Amino acid sequence: MSRDVQPDGLGSQPPYLHAPYRASITRAPSRPLVAIPGALRDVTGPVFGHETVCATDADLTSQGRVSGAPVGERIVVSGTVRDDRGRPVQNALIEVWQANAAGRYRHVDDQHDAPLDPNFTGCGRTLTDELGRYRFLTIKPGAYPWRNHQNAWRPAHIHFSLFGAGLISRLVTQMYFPGDPLLSHDPIFQSIRDERARERLVSRFDWETTLPERALGFRFDVVLRGRDATPVEP
């Protein structure tokens, strides 16, 4: 498969090479991919220890506090994980990471001139329940410059990683927020040619999960395979 071919050939998944996203030029494979036959052990074997995931890991507003609550707008992010037949995927490990309200990650490589929040780690994890549901309490991330091109700004987003039984490899994607004017200028989001597939990465406001006087709710459902699969990073 060439560097500039869509992984699914339909434009509903991001390509390996999308020139406006400069990092993809060096990351894209330079030779045809080699298919490796799967084995039953790849999808049935143990993948992680469930006992290491705690209920508090899903509350990014309470972990890592030093001197008080994290700064920013509190939000609830929840949804379901399903397969191509609409069946819930239970006990899937979901990990998230994000910038703080000022648009800065707690990472040595992030030198953006924005304040760090000593009370916000920006990382969380949880397991889906028997109905494939998950829930996080966090802070709405801010946009940030990323020097991909002149005056480049990444829209507010949350990174998602999914792993578990039945998944041969870890799946990584990004959740965006409705009405963000930066989406039309973001080469990562725009690398997905199919408009309907792009919209599957945009969460929607959820009144049912909004906490009175505390946090607005946003719903982000993930479909692992099939025609309506959530776009994932190749």
Burial grade of 231 (CB within 10 A; 0-12, 13-18, 19 or more): buried
**CATH architecture label of 51-223:** Sandwich (2.60)
The DSSP secondary structure of 43-81, one letter per residue, reads HHS--S-GGG--GGGGBTTTTT-SSSPPSS-EEEEEEEE
pLDDT for residue 9: 59
pLDDT band at residue 1 using 50, 70 and 90 as cut-offs: very low
Per domain, the residue ranges of the chain are 51-223
Q: Cα 153 from chain centroid? A: 18
Distance CA 193, CA 130 (A): 34
> Which residue matches tokens 């959530």?
230
Beta carbons of 87 and 227 less than 8 angstroms apart: no
Token reading at 140? 């709405």
**Residues 231, 19, 144, 185, CA torsion sign:** negative
Catalytic residues: 105, 144, 154, 157, 159
Q: Write out pLDDT tens, residues 38-82.
A: 766 555 555 566 668 888 999 999 987 778 899 999 999 999 999
Q: Write out pLDDT tens, residues 149-202.
A: 999 999 999 999 999 876 778 899 999 999 999 999 999 999 999 999 999 999
